[in-house]
Amino acid sequence: MSTKDTAIAIAGVSCSRKGKKILEDVTLDVESGTVMGLLGPNGAGKTTLIRLVAGLARPDAGTIHVCGEDAAKRSVRFRRLIGLVPQENTLESELTVGESLLAYARLYGIKNAEKMVHQTAERYHLSDFLDKRPEEISGGMKRRAVIARAAMTDPAVLLLDEPSAGLDPDLRHEVWALIRKLRDAGKTLLLTTHYMEEAERLCGRIAFLRAGRLRALDTAEGIRAAAGDAKDLEQAFLRLSHEEECS
């Protein structure tokens, strides 16, 4: 069970799909107001873990609590605690950015929804794009809009699946700035990434998943030290993976 300083408590979580083990006995906590990175190769179980924390699927074993709420029960309070930013663009193609934000605000019962949309647009520099449909704006602006929509309901926890995937370096840095802004506002963020630089620059702690198991959990500095003072995270994870294969 989580404590008052723990936003996300994951305990002994295992999950299988079609007989294949996706996650095995994963345990980790994410402290309130911090950024935790889930790092690992494709197929490591990162997205599955995000879906479990969001309450979109149930584990075979173990528990997940978000601010004390059981993710498996998906209570009304739990759903209001979570803001989910999936990897794919989820803006409705038939709606403008403004209409998409407004529909989301009304879905969550936000009072003065139109006012909230304009405040959110100003905060995330979207005001000039409210009348645009997704196909009329850049990939970076789409990501900005999806993040803004998830944060608009003021959730305590934001879950971001590969938030900068497919973006060029300039747009990636814009997304990083948004993540730092949310962290500085006191939000707790759990994000998946396979970009070593992204994990090192954004995340206070990093969980390295490989083949569904938690292989390392520490700060970037701690992980490098554990891997024989590796020069960077990439070298550290290569060494850790090699040690695992040889053990």
Mean pLDDT to the nearest integer, 110-119:
95
- pLDDT tens by residue, 64-98: 999 999 999 999 999 999 999 998 889 999 999 99
The residue range of the domain holding 45 is 6-246
Asked if the structure places residue 75 within a domain, the reply is yes
Report the range of poorest mean pLDDT among 12-21, 47-56, 201-210, 238-247: 238-247
Name the domain count of the chain: 1
Question: Would residue 95 count as lying in a domain?
Answer: yes
- In a domain, residue 179? The reply is yes
- List Cα–Cα distances, 70 to 33, 74, 110, 166, in angstroms: 20, 7, 24, 33
Contacts of 209 (CB under 8 A, 6+ apart): 23, 26, 38, 39, 40, 44, 45, 46, 49, 215
State pLDDT tens for residues 136-180.
Answer: 999 889 999 999 999 999 999 999 999 988 888 888 999 999 999
Q: For residue range 14-73, what is the model confidence (pLDDT) as tens digits? A: 999 988 999 999 999 999 999 999 998 888 999 999 999 999 999 999 999 999 999 999
Those residues with Cβ within 8 angstroms of residue 51's Cβ, 6 or more apart along the chain or in another chain: 57
Confidence class for position 240, pLDDT limits 50, 70, 90: confident
Position 244 scores a pLDDT of 65
Residue 2 — very low, low, confident or very high, per pLDDT cuts 50/70/90?
very low
Residue 71 is assigned to a structural domain of this protein: yes
In a domain, 1, yes or no: no
Q: How confident is the model at residue 247 (pLDDT cuts 50, 70, 90)?
A: low
Q: How confident is the model at residue 204 (pLDDT cuts 50, 70, 90)?
A: very high
Residue 112, in any domain of the structure: yes
Residue 106 lies in a domain: yes
